[in-house]
Structures are given as C-alpha cells and as structure tokens.
Structure 1
Amino acid sequence: MRRTPPEKPADYLPIAFPAAMLGLFFVVPFAIMVAISFFERVQGGFYQPAFTLANYGRFLSAFFGEILVFSLFLAALVSAVCLVLGVPFTYLLTKLSRRVQVAWLIGLLGVLSLSEVIIGFAWSTLLSRTAGISNLFVALGLMQQPRAWTPGFAAVMTGLVYQAFPYTVLVLYPAFSRLDPSLGEAARTLGASPLRAFLTVIVPALRKTLIATFIIVFIFALGAYLLPQILGRPQHWTLSVLVTDQAIYQSNMPFAAAMAVFLVIASLVLVLLANMINRREPAS
C-alpha cells in the first residue's frame, strides 16, 4: 500500500483528537512551567510575574550541576543494565512454550503492579544487616558476618533496575516475537556460534527497538523519586527529588520549574538524537 499525503483539511481529522489531548495535557502545562521558571520569588513563599534568569543561573551552579550530571548518569546506567539483562532474557523467553511465556509475562506485570514504596522498603529490608540476604550468605559460609548494603549507590541501582526491568522486557517482547527465526539459523549455518549469531545478527536487526527501549527506561529512571530517598544517601538523590523539595518544602516554585524544564529538555534531546540516528542509518 502506498501512503498518500493529506490533501484536504478533512484528512487531518483522525489525528485531531490526539493532537488536542497532547496540546492540552503536555504543551500547555509545559508552557506554563517554562513561564513560571522566569518568575521571581517573593517573601512568604509566593512568586510574581517577571523575567529573570536567576533561577537558571542558580541551577547551573556547581552543586545543582553535579546533581544534574549524576541524575543523567544514573538514568543512562540503569538503561544500559536493563538492556544488557533484558535483551538475552527476552530472546530466550520467546524460545519457550507459549504457556511458559504467559506465566513469565504475568509475573512481570505483577511487578509493575507493586507500588514504588513497597519496592523501596522491600529492597531496604533485603539489603539490611539484620534481616537481609547477607544473613543467608553467612549461613552458607560465604561471609563471616552480615553487613548492610543500604543506603548506598548499589542499593539505588538495584531498586531502579528491578523496577525498570519489566518495562524493558515488555517493550522488547513484541519485536523479539516477530523476529524471523531464519536469521539466526542462517548465521549458524554459515558457521557462527549461537552467541556470535545473537550479537552480530539478532541484535543489529533490532537496533531501533533497542534505542526506543533505552529512551523509555532512561526517561523512567530520570524521574525516579522515592527509591533514591529510601535506598540511597543524600548524595544519591536525583534531580526529581530536589524539584519536589524546592516546590513543596522550600516553596520556591520558580526554581523548581527551572529544574523541571531541564529534565524535560534532557528527555527531548535524547529522543531527537535517537531520531537523527535512525534517519541516518541506511535502509536495509
């Protein structure tokens, strides 16, 4: 079938409602947030219309700049770990029987139904010294005494990867399910090992899906709020935590809006970069 461009206004009607919803629930709130980011805070926790760059200047200071870099690094690392774990897991999952696949998908959906608070305190208990898994390692003779792994960066990473892993698998699963099995068979017929066939044939064939999955997990991890507070120390808090702190507890809405603008811009830049990479790739 050949796609024909719209020729009259009535041809745009199918996308009119989604466009209206996007404008109402994203464009308008984002525009209001951008406007407030230039407002001036006044005494008493209020703010008034103005045009000042002081909020952005404060955000670009060393302290908040380090938090922005840490938030981007944490989100990228979580996305990379989820892909490294999720790609082979999803590929092997699609090789199982349909009944086993359904059971695994139901389990992953069950993880998605858990509250972030439940996940945070569950991992806080598992990584603690008194009731954590280190006691099991002591009983098995692998450790001399139990130890606490929380709060810490590793605990934050573990919680975020655990929470984001189901999203990774559910995004990858349709693409792996539709993958032509003859690709891997042809590579093995030509002498490639199963691992080499997977890395050189299967993974490149799904590069666009992998990029989309990375973006989804990155944006998800960039907005992490509760897990960094429950499982980490203040130096492990993300920018989302500080946005809430400035907006609610410090009553500095203009500065919180400026930080939130940076979060949205970072996500949009990542999406645009991925789109540029996909356009530059030659058609196969």
Structure 2
Amino acid sequence: MALPLSLQNRLVLLGFLAPALILLGAFFLLPLGHLLLVGASGPNGLATYGAILTDRAYLGSLGQTVLVSTATTAITLLIAGIVGLFLQRNRFPGRGLLLALLTFPLAFPGVVVGFMVIMLAGRQGLIGQVSTWLTGDKLVFAYSMAGLLMGYVYFSIPRTLLTVMAAAEKLDPKLEEAARSLGASTARVTWDVLIPGLKPALISSGALCFATAMGAFGTAFTLATRINVLPMVIYTEFTLQANMALAAALSLILGLVTWGVLALARTAAGASVAAGA
C-alpha cells in the first residue's frame, strides 16, 4: 500500500519535475497553442482545419506523406531487422567496418542524403549511366517517389539497425534451441521466437522511423520536385504564398497525425513487453 507523500517529499518531487514541466510548457505547449491560434487567424477562422480535411489537394498531400512514411518504415524494419540480427549473432573479419558504413548516414543531414540520391539516380547519376550503357535508355528516378523513398530509407536504417542490435543482444538463445529441438523450422523459429522477442524494439524504432519520414524536410526539399509531400506544401504556403494561417494549420495536422502514430506505437510496445513478461 502506497503511503501518502509528506509536504517535504512533495516539494522535493516538484523540484525534480520542475525542469521537465518548464521544458514541456516552453517548447511544446506554448508553441502548439500558438500554432493553433495562428491556424485559426485566417479569413476562415477555425474552419481552415475543416477545409484542409475536405480539400483534395491537401488530403492527397497528406496521403502521399503517410504512404511514403509507411513504406519507409516497412522497408527499413525489414532491412535493419535482418541485418541487425545477423551482425549481432555473427563475428567475422570486416564486421566493424561494415557496421560503421551502415551507420555512416547518421553523420549526414537530410539535404546531403538527398544530393547523394541525385548522384546515384539523378540525370547524371551512376544508375543512369549504367542503364544507358546496358539498354540505351537512361534510368532516372531520383526526383520520383522511388528516389524520395530511397533517401528516407537510407537515412532511417542506422537508427533502426542500432536499436535492433541492442534488442537482439538480450534475446535468450536457449529459447531458439528449445524450439529447434521440438522440430521447429527456421521460419517457425523466426516467427514464434525472434519476432516476438524483438517486437518492442521493432515497434518503437518503427514509430520513430515513421515520425522522422513524416516531418523530413531536407531530403524532401532536395528530391521532391514533383511530389507534394506535406512538409513541402507547408514550406510553399509559408514562404511563397505567405499564407501563415494555412501553413500553421497544416503543420498542426501533420503533428497530430504523427503524434497519434507514436501514441499507438507506445501503447503497442508496452503491451508487447507486458505480454512477454
């Protein structure tokens, strides 16, 4: 039974919580409230939010952003899950160098990642030159959804990979041995033992991957010349159209969608941890 806190203990607890509460108010609640007010300051008032949710162009932009973010998350989890588990379980010459190369994108901002995709799949990129030599037709996809997806995945793999490796280190190999001794195939062991063991890490890292892709601007600014992802729409409304109210409303909607996914992921990760315990 929990004992009631004394006044002194409450003051101590408040002292520890004060910095977090100040940061929450200064860097989250106040900007969010101001963003809400700015979004409602246009000629349509609060109806601006409803107009966005019924406008085909803005809904299409939101749909494209969610689509590319979901695809980025799925591809990143697949690649990082397999590679992370393999690197954690195996020791071989050059492993450290390979891990360093896989985590190298951590040192680059999104704009640099975008330029790297252009150098690979742009009009003068390596893929275009090779495809011209092989088939006579130049393959260029840096400025399409495929190029944007490549940039997002390249940017997202390092963080997810490190998270998966940390989680794989804690897996008990005896569970796999027991499953194999009972006749389970490799696919069955993967589905019934490895994936449940890595599930909290996959959910949490996948949520962060999705959130990063939803709000990514540098890579989108470099590559999305023909794709209206929401960060680019917000940038256009703010800088070129000087429509502060609409840009603020779009930003708030983008943030709410991302926050909702993060909240669901946090709940799912907590439930999976409790089930595993």
Do the two structures share a fold, i.e. TM-score over 0.5? yes
Residue matched to 1:40: 42
Question: Which of 170, 180, 185 is the matching residue for 2:172?
Answer: 180
Is residue 2:234 matched to residue 1:232? no
Residue matched to 1:135: 129
How many residues matched?
A: 270
Deviation, 1:154, is: 1.1
Please identify runs of 4+ aligned residues in structure 1 that moved more than 6 A.
Answer: 3-6
Deviation, 1:55, is: 2.1
Residue matched to 1:203: 195
Is residue 2:46 matched to residue 1:53? yes
Deviation, 1:22, is: 2.4
Question: Which of 171, 182, 187 is the matching residue for 1:190?
Answer: 182
Q: Which has the higher helix share?
A: 2
Deviation, 1:144, is: 4.3
Secondary structure, counterpart of 1:94 in structure 2: helix
Q: Is the 8 A contact 2:204 2:266 kept in 1?
A: no
Question: Which of 141, 145, 165 is the matching residue for 2:157?
Answer: 165
Give me the whole-angstrom Cα distance separating, in 1, the residues matched to 2:271 and 2:189: 25
Q: Is the 8 A contact 2:68 2:145 kept in 1?
A: no
Gaps of 5+ in 1: 42-50
Q: Is the 8 A contact 2:164 2:198 kept in 1?
A: no
- Structure-2 change in CA distance of 1:250 and 1:213 (3 Å): same
CA deviation map 1:61-104 (0-9, x unaligned) = 11111111111111111111111111111100101339855434
Letter paired with 2:35: M
Residue matched to 2:117: 123
Residue matched to 1:92: 86
Deviation, 1:190, is: 1.7
Give me the whole-angstrom Cα distance separating, in 2, the residues matched to 1:111 and 1:6: 50
- Structure-2 change in CA distance of 1:194 and 1:12 (3 Å): farther
Matches within 5 A, 1:55-70: 55-60=48-53, 61-70=55-64
Identity of aligned residues (%): 25
Deviation, 1:137, is: 5.0
Give me the whole-angstrom Cα distance separating, in 1, the residues matched to 2:92 and 2:170: 14
Question: Which of 262, 270, 276 is the matching residue for 1:271?
Answer: 262
Letter paired with 2:42: E
Q: Is the 8 A contact 2:237 2:243 kept in 1?
A: yes
Letter paired with 2:203: I
